Amino acid sequence: MSATARKTAPLPDDIRARKGGTPLVSLTAYTTPMAEMMDAHCDFVLVGDSVGMVLHGLPSTLGVTMEMMILHGKAVARGLRRAMLVVDMPFGSYEEAPEQAFRNAARLMAETGAAAVKLEGGVTMAPTIAFLVARGVPVMAHIGLTPQSINTLGGYKVQGRGAAGQALMQDARAVARAGAFAVVLEKLPESLADRITADIDIPTIGIGASAGCDGQILVVDDMLGLFTAFKAKFVKRFASLGEQAEAAIADYARAVRGRSFPGSEHVFSDDMPEPKA
Ligand code: KIV
């Protein structure tokens, strides 16, 4: 990816400036072709650590490594010209100390060309966010259901119901004060998401939150119907590509077994001129 090619991509400050404006559009991506398809339509693209579950068959995001994020981050960067690239910090790469977070964030940005990193956590991670931002690392925060903490959150439950809403509000305020340029709100009550969005001065990016957030994000394989192991209530399937793909594979298997594929148009004779492609 040349510096010229990425010149028109928004910067984290441009995303922050969209607070209260036309909703920000975002999806996850893990591969170059998918990134190319969404580049014209998304304001930013996230290489989420959901890659572990969606593409690698892991049971949670806990087994995702820096190497996986860098590999997929590089692939997505090759497909983007105008959307901003954000890469997730995997579990264990930032929680120990701000210095550890900086080392790994700098590596993710240097090796993938990402404009920013995303990390999970609110009040607890605020000092780390401030440390990173002060050293040139733009941070997108992620609060509410934080999948890297499922073992302490009791699974993939809605977060912030009732009195717990106040703690989430404190998380949102803490990451905004620490200098995050945006915050993902995952799986929390709609009314709480709306209150947080009204309260803080950085864009909220909802996933299972509220249409009133400053933007939305979904896992691309979920919304395309490609990842069907389970479907969260907050996922809307905009297509059923998984079903179409399986039907096409079954057609192919039938054609091979019935010797109707390859047809005469797919094979070569001795004297045929070399086809163009
Ligand atoms: O890993 C991921 O895909 C995410 C988004 C769903 C926000 O964190």
50 lines ligand 1 (CB under 6 A): yes
Position 277 scores a pLDDT of 66
pTM of the model: 0.94
Position 5 scores a pLDDT of 44
219 lines ligand 1 (CB under 6 A): yes
Distance (angstroms) between ligand 1 centre and the Cα of 269 equals 50
28 lines ligand 1 (CB under 6 A): yes
In degrees rounded to 5, what are phi and psi of residue 207? -145, 105
CATH architecture of residue range(s) 3-239:
Alpha-Beta Barrel (3.20)
- Per-residue model confidence as pLDDT tens digits over 139-187: 999 999 999 999 999 899 999 999 999 999 999 999 999 999 999 999 9
* Secondary structure of residue 258 in the 3-state scheme: coil
Q: Is residue 20 predicted with pLDDT exceeding 60?
A: yes
Q: Is residue 1 predicted with pLDDT exceeding 50?
A: no
Q: Is residue 4 predicted with pLDDT exceeding 80?
A: no
Residues 6 or more apart whose CB falls under 8 angstroms from that of 240 comprise: 225
Average of per-residue pLDDT across 45-53: 98
Going by alpha carbons, the residue nearest to atom 2 of ligand 1 is 48
Is 186 catalytic? The answer is yes
Position 220 scores a pLDDT of 98
184 lines ligand 1 (CB under 6 A): yes
Asked if 68 and 53 touch (Cβ cutoff 8 Å), the reply is: no
Q: Is residue 204 predicted with pLDDT exceeding 70?
A: yes
CA distances in angstroms from 80 to 35, 113, 162, 246, 271, listed in the order given = 6, 11, 41, 28, 42
- 273 — pLDDT class (breaks 50, 70, 90): confident
Position 6 scores a pLDDT of 47
Q: Is residue 44 predicted with pLDDT exceeding 90?
A: yes
Position 9 scores a pLDDT of 85
Residues 6 or more apart whose CB falls under 8 angstroms from that of 241 comprise: 224, 225, 226
User: Of the residues 27, 42, 49, which should be mutated to test ligand 1's pocket, given the most ligand atoms within 8 Å of the CB?
Assistant: 49
Distance (angstroms) between ligand 1 centre and the Cα of 18 equals 20
Question: How is the chain split into domains, by residue range?
Answer: 3-239
Alpha-carbon distance of 109 to 50, in angstroms, equals 19
Going by alpha carbons, the residue nearest to atom 8 of ligand 1 is 48
Distance (angstroms) between ligand 1 centre and the Cα of 28 equals 7
Closest to 146 measured CA to CA, from 134, 130, 159: 159
Distance (angstroms) between ligand 1 centre and the Cα of 133 equals 21
Segments of the chain assigned E as strands: 24-28, 44-47, 84-88, 116-120, 139-144, 182-186, 204-207, 215-218
User: Of the residues 42, 47, 62, 207, which should be mutated to test ligand 1's pocket, given the most ligand atoms within 8 Å of the CB?
Assistant: 207
CA distances in angstroms from 87 to 49, 130, 136, listed in the order given = 8, 18, 15
Residues 6 or more apart whose CB falls under 8 angstroms from that of 252 comprise: 261
Asked if 46 and 28 touch (Cβ cutoff 8 Å), the reply is: yes
Catalytic residue among 120, 186, 265, 274: 186
Alpha-carbon distance of 154 to 149, in angstroms, equals 9
- 229 — pLDDT class (breaks 50, 70, 90): confident
Position 3 scores a pLDDT of 42
